[in-house]
Amino acid sequence: MDWTVAKILEATGGRLLQGSPDSHVRSISTDTRLIEPGSCFVALIGENHDGHRFLDKALEQQAAVLVVAQRRPEAQLPTAGEAAVVEVPDTLYALGELARYCRKQVSIPVAGITGSNGKTSTKEMVAGILSLKHRVLKNQGNFNNLIGVPLTLLSLLPEHQAAVVEMGINVPGEMERLVEITRPTVGLITNIHPAHLEGLGSLEGIVHEKTFLWEGLGAGHPAVVNLDDELLVKSSRNLKGPLVTYSLNNPSAHVRLAGAVKVQEDASVYPLVLGGEKREVRLPVLGLHQVQNAVAAAAVAWAMGEAPDTIVEGLSRHLPVKQRMQVHHLPDGGVLIDDSYNANPGSTYAAVQAAHTSSGGHPLLVILGEMRELGSTSAALHHELGIKIAKLGVSYLATLGGMGAEIVRGAKEAGMSDTDCRSFGTHEEILSWLRANCPAKAWILVKGSRAMAMERVVEGILKA
């Protein structure tokens, strides 16, 4: 965007307290550490921080514009010198309006991706496919919320030919707002599982909020539907626009598996049908859930007009996303699977299943941190997960956190012994237990919610 103060005022509906509307603006930022001279600083207010405390810092970094909230303490507005000051009712909403204004200036296709599990991996796969022939914008990391999505769109350049935008939500209303900002031309909901139940309440609440993505698609824009998820199939029946379907086992899907998945070293190989054409895919990542992500990505790319050969090549070049089924080979011949970025019941069981299938008879140690944001059902969901893991027949199970103890309780009820199944209070205790008990050439899976920092266990294993 060729921003000016006038365009910022037009986009946000703000009030100019000082400065010239004709002044040019280099970029938009919410972080004073990233401000360039001549940029606009939007002072966001969060639970644990207030950007208005850093207005002086923004001016020291030569910000040209400050976007501030009406209800800020007056002491938080410094003498701005030559910088323009734009006042808005809500700076987070204003950030979204700036991104929405930017999005409206371009007519490129935009894939919107949400769901309980697999959003980031699927986003990376779709972007990888499209990038073979197009200049593609995508979220960096998991910049998928009401701050990250606007910042992603604000980085649109004239040379971008497509965008892939991951959308994550925690509470009602967020998806509707993200769709309003992003204006996607194709929408995918990967699946519905118990996640963020504290904010969304129930599976039905998750469906209600997630499907705003489909409902917000413009006329003629396709919704991509997972036929293996009954809740999504049911919700899709009310949609008036075109549908592109995918499945691991439903022969009526437009994009689907056409045979068994073969596990090779660090890869999954399977036949894929894309609108009647059959291709073999070699996906360099483990796990049936990652295959499902890849089939979803293929469906999105196919809905966007990409050819089957391009889709297969793009998937073959996919690299595992950091801390998401990332494989490390250990000096003793063992394998460490780092899936430590985040966790909910569905994604955790899928990861354990994948590690169990891939381990090929080697001892499998499963190390899990507790799963957060599950509300009043948390204890029951952890307990149920423990039962399911024990029934798979893993060799050892170690957990971290209070709710991790519920996983252990379930596993013991399902037959695991006290020596093979333990709960710990710290990362260091888990690492000490591993040093004493890990067999040679074992496979180790590490997973847990973001707040549990399970990457510390991964780092400890790799340093050993």
Output the pTM of the full model: 0.83
CATH number at 56 reads 3.40.1390.10
Residues 294 and 371 in one domain: no
Task: For 312, list phi and psi in degrees, rounded to 5.
Answer: -65, -45
pLDDT digits (tens, 9 = 90+) for 93-143: 999 999 999 999 999 999 999 998 889 999 999 999 999 999 999 999 779
Looking at residue 60, its pLDDT comes to 93
pLDDT digits (tens, 9 = 90+) for 376-415: 899 999 999 999 999 999 999 999 999 999 999 999 999 9
CATH number at 373 reads 3.90.190.20
Residues 124 and 62 in one domain: no
**C-beta contacts of 73-80 below 8 A and 24+ residues apart:** 76/50, 76/52, 77/52, 80/18, 80/19, 80/55
Residues 287 and 388 in one domain: no
Is the separation of the CB atoms in 43 and 68 below 8 Å?
yes
392-402 burial, b at 16+ Cβ within 10 Å, e below that, comes to eebbbbbbbbe
Domain presence at residue 261: yes
Query: 54, 89, 124 — which closes off a domain?
Result: 89
Q: What is the dihedral of CA 388, 393, 395, 396, to 10 degrees?
A: 10
Residue 118 to residues 127, 145, 156, 252, Cα–Cα distance (Å): 14, 16, 24, 23
Looking at residue 456, its pLDDT comes to 97
Task: Count other Cβ atoms within 10 Å, centred on residue 70.
Answer: 11
Residues 134 and 110 in one domain: yes
Distance CA 24, CA 438 (A): 61
Looking at residue 422, its pLDDT comes to 95
Alpha helices in 304-344 (DSSP H): 308-316
* CB-based contacts of 372, cutoff 8 Å, min separation 6: 449, 450, 451, 452
Domain presence at residue 97: no
**pLDDT less than 50: residues of the chain:** none
CATH number at 114 reads 3.40.1190.10
Distance CA 354, CA 425 (A): 26
Domain presence at residue 321: no
Task: Count other Cβ atoms within 10 Å, centred on residue 387.
Answer: 17
Residues 374 and 442 in one domain: yes
Looking at residue 203, its pLDDT comes to 83
Distance CA 223, CA 292 (A): 17
Residues 22 and 125 in one domain: no
Residues 309 and 334 in one domain: no
Residues 77 and 144 in one domain: no
Domain presence at residue 376: yes
Q: Which domain holds residue 21?
A: 3-89
Looking at residue 80, its pLDDT comes to 65
* CB-based contacts of 452, cutoff 8 Å, min separation 6: 343, 369, 370, 372, 400, 401
Query: 266, 293, 316 — which closes off a domain?
Result: 316
Residues 166 and 58 in one domain: no
Is the separation of the CB atoms in 165 and 113 below 8 Å?
yes
Domain presence at residue 432: yes
| DSSP annotation of 407 | H
Domain presence at residue 458: yes
Pairing relationship of beta strands 255-257 and 262-264 according to DSSP bridges: unpaired
Domain presence at residue 98: no
Is the separation of the CB atoms in 146 and 92 below 8 Å?
yes
Query: 316, 343, 365 — which closes off a domain?
Result: 316
Residues 363 and 413 in one domain: yes
Question: In the chain, how many domains are there?
Answer: 3
Residues 383 and 436 in one domain: yes
Residues 312 and 334 in one domain: no
Domain presence at residue 99: no
